[in-house]
Amino acid sequence: MDSIPSDAARDGSICDEAIVLSVTCALAKDALSYFQSGKFHECIDILIQLNHKKRNDPKVLHNMAIAEYFKNACSNSKKLLEDLNTVKKQSEELAKEPLEAVNPGSNVSVSKDLFDSTVTTLNIAVTWFHLHQYAKCLSILDPLFLNIEPLDETIALQICFLMLDSALACHDAVKFLEVFGHLDKSFGVGFGTHEEIGSTMQLSSNQVSKTSSLLSSSAASDALKSDLAAAESGLCEEGLEYDNVLAEIEAEKRMKPVGHIPANNLLKTIGERSILTVDVKLELQLYKVRFLLLTRNVKLAKREVKHAMNIAQKRDSSMALLLKSQLEYAHGNHRKAIKLLLVSGIQKELRTSGIFNNNLGCIYYQLGKYQAASVLFSNALRNCSSLRKDNPVKLFSLSQDKSLLITYNCGVLYLACGKPLLAAQCFQKASLVFCRQPLLWLRIAECCILALQKGLLEGGNTSSDRSEIRVHVIGKGKWRQLMMEENGFVELGGSAQWPKLSLPLARVCLSNSMYLLNVSLMNESKSDLESPLSVMINDTKEASWSDHGDANTNSELKEAKGGMNQDIIQNSLSAYKDIRRRENHLLKQALLANMAYVELELENPIKALSAANSLLQLPDSSKIYVFLGHIYAAEALCLLNRPGEAGAHLSAYLLGQEDFKLPFAQEDFDPWRMNMSSDCEETSDCSTGNARDSLKPEEARGALFANLAALFATQGHYDQAKPFIQHALTVLPNNVQATITAVYIDLMVGRSQDAVARLKQCTRVSFVPGRLEVRAS
């Protein structure tokens, strides 16, 4: 049945059409009200009736798909996506038909409206968003955004907010600004318009109740004072300890058992686009703060969050408080961050308690309290899983399921604690969300390398075995012989239980990471060409990242006199791009260094050499990576029988004839330390960081001595080698490799007594009895 009025009029059957129209119109209203009250069965029944009356109307099919999804407790996102995509394709085909049969007099736009697939597209994007596919979500919404002017305000707002959240999740500041700029133009928050705006942008909505944000606002303001008091008393007196925090959380729970929000209230919001009730002004202000946090413009964020607090004062301030907490966290003021996090009150609601635990875990991680952080993260995961179980009907239970993000945090934590296997499991799980991020792959590779160091890899020969020299004492009395073994074989107990971490896996991960990094660099340079922002504004930051301090915060931006404007935002963006560029540059160095290392471990000197050479060719590299590049290249060259070139790499650091300078300074390591802006209030105990994280400059110098000695020794220049190995052993008295080289030199010059004496001095040598009992004869 054709429902286009003009066609109907031509048929002369206006009456029938009108009746059908009014009937379907009434049915549609019924369906909506059933949907809103959560009666999905009834809703679907009506939709089926409608479908009989209007064969294959895409909108009916669309709503049916949505209702079905809710009926099945939001369990089958895949089917929903399939259905929605079918509907979308259908609408697009239908939209084409009348256009093809264009006759100039008719009104094409009517039919366009009828088959408009905007809502369907939006819903597809929403579903992807909940599946954590943020980039996909953005790419689906992009065409809608390009043509957003004609869309109804409510839909347009939903599209924009969804894009903002996705862009934040993707760290895509450019896309964020594009969308934010549009909203700014339409709703006029303006950056830095600081006059108090009393009126809120309540869009055409009669619903005032705040189901929107974290807490119902009345509860928030009541609880706020007591919370503040509690936090003050609990935390000011140096009560930062984890137990206190836990106790506090417990107390909260006891006082107010976390009840579920009445289902009625919730379901109402499903149909009614609860986003409308959101105070757009506040919302935009909060987004602005999040943008500034993303671009690490701490100073500006501080100012804007104040403004947000002012707007939020009479309403729901929990989100503003949460952002303030994040701000302090970014700033390194961890105590303050904890305080604000508690005050925000998000721990009280089941929905957000996981988020609370996660964020608190982040803070404790930064404080170096890994134990506490790990408890918090696992609590957060538990919160998430209970949320999944308890609230099947809520769609947003899906979006509230942040467990994959928390899992990533767990991975970082385990890696820092030196538990590579657990960490790798976490990263592998989190790869569902982060598989396009180069850093994730580097982290997995680091897990492999750490596992190698700890002797947790399958296949035996690991470098941990190398940390000991074994001298087998064979035979007795006059028959006694010593057998040196620096590469002993250690049986791994039950090696089958380890996951598939391996060096080849590390190699694959590293090349994945490199590929993704290159792709993103390419995209960036492309977008730079397109955007007028390509001119770097920050000349002051040209120094390499190694200049420590707040290299990674965007705080050098001068505050503009008076209000902020677009320029400041653009500056913030370009400064952020600059930061990202430096981080990517550092990431590239790390990748190449790891590649060279892994290839050496895999006994593939050709590949190791090429990785090391590419590392050395990078401009403005960190001194640490330059050192690693030289030392890996030298070893690879030795393995390729090119000692001359190897020597050149090492002697780059020679100071005079027989001394090496420090290849890098301790300051070069600052990016490895906790990242804190210069003006943070407290210093955390960096010492808790794993020793494996860093390489001391003095050790690096010792390695140069030892390696040059080894090089001389292999060439038969024992006299030249001797002073170097002596230096090496002074710097690194218990180093296994240096000891072996020294023993080798001793033996080569015929001083086996000295060699054995040396072995006896080294604390890392163990004399073990021969393994065989006499069995022969």
Rank residues 197 and 686 by Cβ distance to other proteins and give the closer one. Answer: 686
Q: How far apart are CA 333 and CA 326, in angstroms?
A: 10
What's at 761, amino acid-wise?
Answer: Q
CA–CA distance, 274 with 39 (Å, rounded to integer): 18
Within 672-691, the residues that bind other proteins by CB under 8 A are 672-675, 690
Binder among 12, 15, 147, 562 for other proteins (CB under 8 A)? 147
Q: In whole angstroms, how far apart are CA 598 and each of 449, 461, 505, 636? A: 8, 14, 10, 12
Q: Can you give 367-423 as a three-state secondary structure string?
A: CCCHHHHHHHHHHHHHHHHHHHHHCCCCCHHHHHCCHHHHHHHHHHHHHHCCCHHHH
Instruction: Tell me: does residue 161 bind other proteins (CB under 8 A).
Output: yes
Question: Least CB distance from residue 530 to other proteins, whole Å?
Answer: 17
Nearest distance in Å: CB 237, other proteins = 26
- CB nearer to other proteins: pick between 449 and 569: 449
Q: What angle do CA 765, 767, 773 make, to 5 degrees?
A: 150
Residues 203-242 that bind other proteins (CB under 8 A): 212-214
- Choose the binding region for other proteins from 105-113, 191-199, 525-533, 562-570 (rule: CB under 8 A): 105-113
> Smallest gap, in angstroms, from Cβ of residue 303 to other proteins?
19
Q: Whole-number minimum distance, CB 233 to other proteins, in Å?
A: 26
Q: How far is CA 520 from the centre of its chain?
A: 15
Question: Which one of 155, 203, 508, 652 is in contact with other proteins (CB under 8 A)?
Answer: 155
Q: How far is the CB of 382 from other proteins (least distance, A)?
A: 15
The pattern of x and - marking residues 10 through 39 that bind other proteins according to CB under 8 A reads -----------x--xx-xx--xx--x----
Which residues from 568-607 bind other proteins, rule CB under 8 A? 583, 586-587, 590, 593-594, 597, 600, 605
Token pair belonging to 653? 């650091």
What phi, psi does 57 have (nearest 5°)? -65, 120
* Site for other proteins contains 109 (CB under 8 A): yes
**Which one-letter amino acid corresponds to residue 501?**
L
Residue 190 carries which side chain, given as an amino acid letter?
G
Smallest distance, Å, CB 561 to other proteins? 27
Rule CB under 8 A: is residue 300 a binding residue for other proteins? no
- Cα separation, 633 vs 650, whole angstroms: 9
What are the tokens at 89?
Answer: 């394709």
Stretches 192-200, 445-453, 491-499, 515-523: which one binds other proteins (CB under 8 A)? 445-453
Nearest to 590 by CA among 672, 534, 469: 672
191 counts as binding other proteins under rule CB under 8 A: no
Report if residue 774 touches other proteins, rule: CB under 8 A. Answer: yes
Q: What ranges make up the beta strands (E) of 568-666?
A: 654-655, 659-660
Distance CA 415, CA 427 (A): 10
Minimum CB distance to other proteins smaller for 223 or for 743: 743
Nearest approach, Cβ of 195 to other proteins (angstroms)? 25
- Residue 533's alpha-carbon distances to 327, 516, 573, 622, in angstroms, are 26, 23, 9, 27
Nearer to other proteins, 194 or 219 (CB): 219
| Residue numbers 388-407 binding other proteins by CB under 8 A | 395-396, 399-400, 402, 405-406
Looking only at residues 613 through 672 of this chain, which bind other proteins when binding is defined by CB under 8 A? 624, 628, 631-632, 635, 638-641, 643, 669, 671-672
Least CB distance to other proteins at residue 587 (A): 7
Q: Which is nearer to other proteins, 31 or 235 (CB)?
A: 31
Shortest distance, CB of residue 726 to other proteins, whole angstroms? 14
Burial label for 644, CB within 10 Å (0-12, 13-18, 19+), is: exposed
Copy the structure tokens of residue 345: 């009150």
Contact window for other proteins (CB under 8 A) among 157-165, 230-238, 252-260, 519-527: 157-165
Candidates 317, 358, 571, 574; binder of other proteins (CB under 8 A) is 358
684-743 residues near other proteins, rule: CB under 8 A: 690, 692-695, 699-700, 702-703, 706-707, 709-711, 713-714, 716, 732, 735-738, 740-741, 743
Using the rule CB under 8 A, which residue among 19, 79, 97, 150 binds other proteins? 150
Q: Which is nearer to other proteins, 235 or 755 (CB)?
A: 755
Rounded Cα gap, residues 568 and 178, in angstroms: 15
Site for other proteins in 36-95 (CB under 8 A): 50, 54, 57, 59-60, 62-63, 66, 69-70
Least distance in Å: CB of 656 to other proteins?
A: 22
Site stretch for other proteins (CB under 8 A), options 217-225, 237-245, 516-524, 749-757: 749-757
Q: For residues 177 and 634, which CB has a smaller minimum distance to other proteins in the complex?
A: 634
Q: Which of 180, 191, 291, 329 binds other proteins (CB under 8 A)?
A: 329
Pick 231 or 634: Cβ nearer other proteins: 634
Give the amino acid at 771.
Answer: R
Question: In this chain, which of 190, 239, 271, 723 binds other proteins, going by CB under 8 A?
Answer: 271
Closer residue to other proteins in complex, CB, 194/749: 749
Binders of other proteins among residues 536 to 575 (CB under 8 A) are 552
CA 66 to chain centre: 31
Taking CA atoms, 291 is separated from 191, 192, 285, 371, in Å, by 12, 14, 10, 32
CA angle 634, 637, 640 (to 5 degrees): 155
Reading the block at residue 731, the tokens are: 């710097």
State in angstroms the smallest separation of the CB of 769 from other proteins. 9
User: Of the two residues 236 and 493, which places its CB atom closer to other proteins in the complex?
Assistant: 493
φ and ψ at residue 655, rounded to 5 degrees: -120, 105
3-state secondary structure of 659: strand
- Report 463-522 residues binding other proteins (CB under 8 A): 463, 472-487, 489
List of residues 6+ apart from 286 with CB closer than 8 A: 308, 319, 320, 323
Nearest residue (CB) to other proteins, 194 versus 695 = 695
Q: Dihedral sign, CA of 405, 411, 412, 413? A: positive
CA-to-CA distance for 484 and 760, rounded, in angstroms? 12
Q: How far is CA 235 from CA 250, 335, 366, 374, in A?
A: 16, 8, 18, 21
